Chain A
Amino acid sequence: MTPPPAERRWGAEQRTREKELLARLAALAPDDPTRQAIRDELVVMHLPLAEHLARRYRNRGESLEDLVQVATVGLIKAVDRFDPTRGNELATYATPTILGEIKRHFRDRTWALSVPRRLQELHSRVTIATDALTQSLGRSPTVRELAEHLGVGEEDILDALEVRHAYATNPLDPPEGDDDPPRSVADSLGQVDAALEAIEERETLRPLLAALPDRERRIIELRFFENKSQSQIAEELGISQMHVSRLLARTLTELRAGLAAA
């Protein structure tokens, strides 16, 4: 991605300063109190980048002020996660992170506008209650148990579950790519390979699976090749069961389309 004008005007002086700050940050312990000041200086240095990217999303119904704020959150995340030993410039690294933050903001807003408030609230209560009851019962709860627990009708629970599948994205989901992706462990790889060997379209399927984000691929492997339940997968990956179920549905649809197109 081409750096924006503000970045291109950067002189040698600023580059040197950035390198120096990053080197100092790398040398400090994670809990060192002086980190904050260095981090702030790096963020301030790159604010023109955040503003520039935010401006691209003007005239979409959000004030520039709000957009800059969202972009700044992305910039702070980028500064915190940036690893100078990878040989990238901070600005190069930060650009997709900032854009991701802005796009997520728009997605969340769309969700908030399109799903009736009653269902949004219910959906969030059902998501939380499902995981809480799974903990206390030692298994996934039924619709009846959820309805009793929340003091609502069974139809309400079904509506809330439906909402989960009716919209492409959901603000309750943890942001994608924010955590280290789960890794397949060696012995489960053997299991997955054996299962794939039995599938006739494996040569088409393999690249489709490989192209999935790590978490989605892992969910497919655990559910279909290792026969784990959705609750077990939720626990293993540290996300809600409703999130697992939505990612499963979405990924299956993608895979089906990919196989049909082959």
Chain B
Amino acid sequence: MSDDVTLTFAADTTNVRLARTVAAAMAARADLPIDQLEDVRLAVDEAVSQLILDARPGSTITCAFALDGGDLDVKVSALTRSGDLPATDTFSWTVLRALCDSVTAHSADLVVTLHLHVVRHIAVDA
């Protein structure tokens, strides 16, 4: 059985809470310690909020969560108006970088994807 979960919702700030809740549940499945779990919740909140700002009216946001050993991988994507990659000299990017082990952004055909990767910082017995 695959542990992957994909969530798609209208690009509206009222839906950010859904993404946060799923993020926390997936972080728990990845056996992340609570402080990292809460960081994942904040990171997904930040990434989704950032993409909503540039999302096309009426479009959707997709959050794809994947577990890989002790790692959690989250791809947040949206069809944007500009197709521009988010600037990396912003507070929002600083926040994402501090909350995740790696953050990258990709853009193709106006779809911008923020790729968050979180590595479990502790050894846990399976």
* Segment with Cβ contacts to A, from B3-11, B33-41, B75-83: B33-41
What is the predominant secondary structure among interface residues of chain A facing chain B? Answer: helix
Whether the Cβ atoms of B98 and A227 lie closer than 8 Å is yes
Q: Of A140, A141, A259, which is in contact with the most chain B CB atoms at under 10 Å from its CB?
A: A140
Whether the Cβ atoms of B91 and A255 lie closer than 8 Å is yes
Q: Give the distance to chain A from B105, nearest Cβ to Cβ, in Å.
A: 16
Whether B92 is near chain A, meaning CB under 8 Å from some CB there, is yes
Whether A212 is near chain B, meaning CB under 8 Å from some CB there, is no
Whether B42 is near chain A, meaning CB under 8 Å from some CB there, is yes
Whether the Cβ atoms of A144 and B34 lie closer than 8 Å is no
Q: Please, how many angstroms separate the alpha-carbon atoms of A231 and B39 in the complex?
A: 11
Return the contact of A142 from the options B25, B39, B124 (Cβ within 8 A). Answer: B124
Whether A158 is near chain B, meaning CB under 8 Å from some CB there, is yes
Given contacts A139-B122, A200-B89, contact A230 B28 (CB under 8 A): no
Whether the Cβ atoms of B35 and A200 lie closer than 8 Å is no
Whether A167 is near chain B, meaning CB under 8 Å from some CB there, is no
Return the contact of A140 from the options B21, B36, B49 (Cβ within 8 A). Answer: B36
Whether A105 is near chain B, meaning CB under 8 Å from some CB there, is no
Residues of chain B with a CB closer than 8 A to A259's CB:
91-92
Whether the Cβ atoms of B28 and A158 lie closer than 8 Å is yes
Whether the Cβ atoms of A224 and B95 lie closer than 8 Å is yes
Whether the Cβ atoms of B34 and A241 lie closer than 8 Å is yes
What is the predominant secondary structure among interface residues of chain B facing chain A? Answer: helix
* Residue total for B at the interface (Cβ-Cβ under 8 A): 31
Whether B87 is near chain A, meaning CB under 8 Å from some CB there, is yes
Whether B24 is near chain A, meaning CB under 8 Å from some CB there, is yes
Whether the Cβ atoms of A248 and B25 lie closer than 8 Å is no
Whether A172 is near chain B, meaning CB under 8 Å from some CB there, is no
What 1/0 flags go to B60-95 for Cβ under 8 Å of A?
Answer: 000000000000000000000000000101111011
Whether A6 is near chain B, meaning CB under 8 Å from some CB there, is no
Whether the Cβ atoms of B33 and A200 lie closer than 8 Å is no
Whether the Cβ atoms of B34 and A130 lie closer than 8 Å is yes
Whether A146 is near chain B, meaning CB under 8 Å from some CB there, is yes
Whether A29 is near chain B, meaning CB under 8 Å from some CB there, is no
Whether the Cβ atoms of A161 and B46 lie closer than 8 Å is no
Whether the Cβ atoms of A200 and B94 lie closer than 8 Å is no
Whether A108 is near chain B, meaning CB under 8 Å from some CB there, is no
Whether the Cβ atoms of A142 and B32 lie closer than 8 Å is yes
Whether the Cβ atoms of A200 and B87 lie closer than 8 Å is yes
Whether the Cβ atoms of A162 and B35 lie closer than 8 Å is no
Interface residues of A in 144-172 (CB under 8 A from B): 144, 146, 154, 157-158, 161-162, 165
What 1/0 flags go to A189-230 for Cβ under 8 Å of B?
Answer: 000000100111100010000000000000000011101011
Q: Please, how many angstroms separate the alpha-carbon atoms of A200 and B90 in the complex?
A: 6
Whether the Cβ atoms of B20 and A165 lie closer than 8 Å is yes
Whether A256 is near chain B, meaning CB under 8 Å from some CB there, is yes
Residues of chain B with a CB closer than 8 A to A205's CB:
91
Residues of chain B with a CB closer than 8 A to A144's CB:
28, 31, 124
